[in-house]
Chains A and B, each alone.
Chain A
């Protein structure tokens, strides 16, 4: 909503307030200022009158004018096509500096002296109003020759653009903004002088008839006017251009101006758009097939609150025009639009947010404009149709109001403030207040809405803060534990060199499909994705990490270590949290220590670093269901026999596709990660012994199988065991030698040689029995 100070001043006396003061007040009462500009015409631009205008003897397009500027008559050469005798113009006199920097001085144009310049609106730094020079008229006040234009309030104005929330339709007019300011400044709205308009003897009832069935949910009011030709006065053109409105005709422009000023929805129909019966044009209010209220003429003339159809506009042939003021409750029109969308225009913006319901006021203002600027003849009286409106009345206690705000505000203050905002305050008991809500404040329906009105006009900054005293409650829950756990693992990942990535939860369905990841069922998928590459919910964090690794590699990064903790969705769209890691490129930072040639990341190092982040786990060979994994370097990760995730080398062909070097990935179920405090378990005070065992095993035997056998028979003294060496040779053929190191320790004593041998023998005989393998 754009307003100018001079325009607002027609409705409320704010002459004494500066533009900055207005902006500050608007902001503090919740009408946010988006833009504030000051328009000012330079000094030494004066009002002049063209006395004579003749063609330049030596130039086609130039005219030589004699211009009266009060103190003297100047000769000015002017190139504008609309210059002529007897018009009032803005004259830049010698010494004036134009907004573009041009300094006016006497010049000779094709041999004729020119002393000054007749200005166009753009030359004065104003919006473009017409082709050629700006012709002045009395809409800007009396045209005293020689008077400075910069002294005229309309040419020295503040333009303020307000950003309104959708509930404040009441402020979509100059009148409405003035009303809010009136409460803020405690200045009354100007009384509009009752215009002395002489109406024709003939009443509107003689030429017009309004037909309607049953109770309508719209308000309509009509006035009939004799059509007259007129040009829009300068002031109105200036203002309309400031609010960036372009109108097709002078009638449209005048109506728009009336609506913009008063807030009432106004339109003009041509008399010939309606059928004539018994010498009266028949206007019919009906419901159309979509259940919208429509005004019916020979054809559909308009849909109330939404659009007027071209066939009902005033034509050149029309001698009479019918002005209609209308109101429809915003929730009625919004609900209809939600149920049955039809094409709408700028009008809907106003009506759905709430236009001014006082139709009398709007029509009166409109006819005043026509009378002033178009000298239109007006038929007596009006035709009208009213919907039923139930007045909202709120009963509140002052104590409740003060409790919600948290400070004491007295009743007299509240009463005055609400009255200025247009609310009715009815007689009430001490400590109580009874408020009637005006129809234009359809957004106010609860006590709390009234409190908000009071709060914004007091200014929140004027409410002192108060500490909140509350009842203690235990607030630890699953969610707080989740965030603490997430923080813990994120920091561990960062400590181990990974960078945290945050990706959108969207993936491209075709890509998920290409790599055999689960897909959200078609019928549960996104209806209106924002882009083809983000057209479904992700079922894995891995693709995002691969893409991010690729992007980092492409900008020259030699090592990319990323992780993410985030949501993924299964086919039924159930959400779960995963943690994933990617490690791509060099296994360490290049430097002197590795002669600038670090190794590529390998399986072993990747496993090592992942276990630094999440703790110990075991690996089991697995065939993964998706296509990102290298088939011979994939593993399930287990903790205490439970699968927590998987890790693998990126499939070479995928790596190639994404321009990646050696890359390893891991994805875990975040829920399965441990987040409990560790518990002490006792340890032996006696010395530990180590024994190595070298066995010959078939190359095809998996270590995991061998491990299972040992685990089942190992004695309590075997604390742990682990492979330390493998050896292959021609002589061994399809077999290989594997050395295991056992750590043995007793709770009760230092182990003797025979204890150790006995433990080892048990293991060896089990290996022999179960797998047929023996010592080397």
Chain B
């Protein structure tokens, strides 16, 4: 019988195990045969043979089962090994697209101001002279009103050069207090490295009863906003007084690239100009029929913000739908 133990040991497949099991335990197997032979043995030996046979049976049985588990485990291992893949072939292949950094920046600005409960207002891109210039204290002969810069239509309307006409329209339709922003596309007839004929602006306006809102309030709002957009930066206000379309003050942040030490982006000044703000001219209130109010306005270029935040070097590349640029923002 011990030769069977050896056979079990040298088995190399579950099929071979099954063959042995049949050969040993089957109806015509060696054990059945041995038990049958035992019957013809002398009676005094029967008990001894039976005991030996039963011990052998148990031994063979456990040897078989052990070997079976070993072989099954091995078979599973091999089956799994056969299923093995080179995972590195499947490094993530992101198929998500991406939203545009300019639009994202616009959304971020809108979110900040709507959280401060500013309203969002819009207006037409095709504007008339009154809303785009005249009501903003820019009469026809004003030197700041460079005709070369404006897109005109043949019927004397124009493409708005800023989103300020939205402020005029809003003021004419509602009464103070006003807290609003006007995001949108604006147009200037200029196309070079630093100018595109269309770009995006957000302008804000605060109007309240005289004495209720001050320059100090505007300063507070803009400081909060710039910290939200650019993180921990210093904010500096530089006066630059001029009628409506030009700011009363230019607002700088400490350069986010060199932390104020001076670099190429900030032209070695350590400061980046990011927005403009102003006290609203009384002539503007006159044009919309407001009396006894104070107002403050601010404006910023979305592209400039997006380029600073994402460190995009070329303005024009933002308008080319180039996936090599866009896929960096997904």
Contact = CB atoms under 8 A, between A and B. Distances in A.
A419 interface: no
30 contacts: A28-B238, A30-B238, A335-B140, A403-B210, A405-B214, A406-B216, A456-B239, A460-B237, A466-B220, A467-B217, A470-B117, A470-B213, A477-B121, A483-B107, A493-B99, A494-B98, A497-B97, A499-B98, A503-B321, A525-B153, A526-B151, A526-B154, A528-B151, A528-B152, A551-B322, A552-B321, A562-B321, A575-B125, A592-B89, A592-B90
A30 B141 contact: no
A739 interface: no
Contacts of B183: 483
A491 B99 contact: yes
A480 B100 CA distance: 19
B153 A482 contact: no
B279 A451 contact: yes
Given A491-B99, A502-B103, A552-B323, A473 B216 contact: no
Interface string B210-237: 1101111111110100000000000011
A548 B321 contact: yes
A499 B241 CA distance: 42
A338 B140 contact: yes
B95 A448 contact: no
A446 B283 CA distance: 9
B189 interface: yes
B285 to A, nearest CB: 10
B102 interface: yes
A682 interface: no
Please indicate which of the listed interface residues B140, B215, B218, B321 has the most CB atoms of chain A within 10 Å of its own CB.
B321
Interface string A458-495: 01110111111011110101011011001100110111
Contacts of A339: 141
Contacts of A452: 239, 241, 248, 279
A152 interface: no
Nearest to A552: B323
B327 A468 contact: no
Interface in A371-418: 400, 403-407
Interface of A: 27-30, 32, 165-167, 330-331, 334-339, 352-353, 400, 403-407, 443, 446-449, 451-453, 455-456, 459-461, 463-468, 470-473, 475, 477, 479-480, 482-483, 486-487, 490-491, 493-506, 522-531, 534, 544-545, 548-549, 551-552, 555, 557, 560-565, 567, 569, 573, 575, 588-589, 591-592
B323 A557 contact: yes
B143 A353 contact: yes
B95 A497 contact: yes
Interface of B: 89-90, 93, 95-100, 102-103, 107, 110, 114, 117-122, 124-126, 139-144, 151-155, 177, 179, 183, 185, 189-191, 196-198, 206, 208, 210-211, 213-221, 223, 236-243, 246, 248-250, 279-283, 294, 318-324, 326-327, 330
A527 B153 contact: yes
B97 A493 contact: yes
A336 B322 CA distance: 48
A166 B100 contact: no
A588 B121 CA distance: 40
A500 B326 CA distance: 7
A544 B120 contact: no
A551 B321 contact: yes
B240 A470 contact: no
A443 B248 CA distance: 13
Contacts of A502: 100, 102-103, 318-319, 321
Contacts of A461: 236-237
Given A545-B321, A552-B323, A472 B117 contact: yes
Contacts of B118: 475
Contact of B152 (A494, A505, A526): A526
Contacts of A557: 323-324
B107 A487 contact: yes
A465 B179 CA distance: 18
Given A446-B282, A470-B208, A567 B125 contact: yes
Given A166-B143, A456-B239, A487-B107, A494 B219 contact: no
Nearest to A167: B242
Given A166-B143, A471-B177, 5 more contacts: A166-B144, A452-B279, A465-B217, A473-B177, A477-B120
Contacts of B124: 575
Contacts of B102: 502
A560 B216 CA distance: 50
B217 A334 contact: no
B154 A527 contact: yes
A400 B151 CA distance: 40
B156 to A, nearest CB: 9
B154 A503 contact: no
A549 B323 CA distance: 9
Contact of B238 (A403, A405, A460): A460
A573 B126 contact: yes
B81 to A, nearest CB: 20
B120 A480 contact: yes
A463 B97 contact: no
B239 A352 contact: no
A689 B318 CA distance: 53
B238 A500 contact: no
Contacts of A491: 99
Contacts of A480: 110, 114, 119-120
Contacts of A468: 206, 213, 217-218, 220-221
Nearest to A525: B154
A439 to B, nearest CB: 18
A389 B213 CA distance: 36
A468 B283 CA distance: 24
A504 B103 CA distance: 14
Contacts of A338: 140-141
Contact of B143 (A352, A504, A544): A352
Contacts of B281: 446, 448
A466 B216 CA distance: 5
B320 to A, nearest CB: 7
B97 A523 contact: no
Contacts of B208: 470
B327 A499 contact: yes
B242 A166 contact: yes
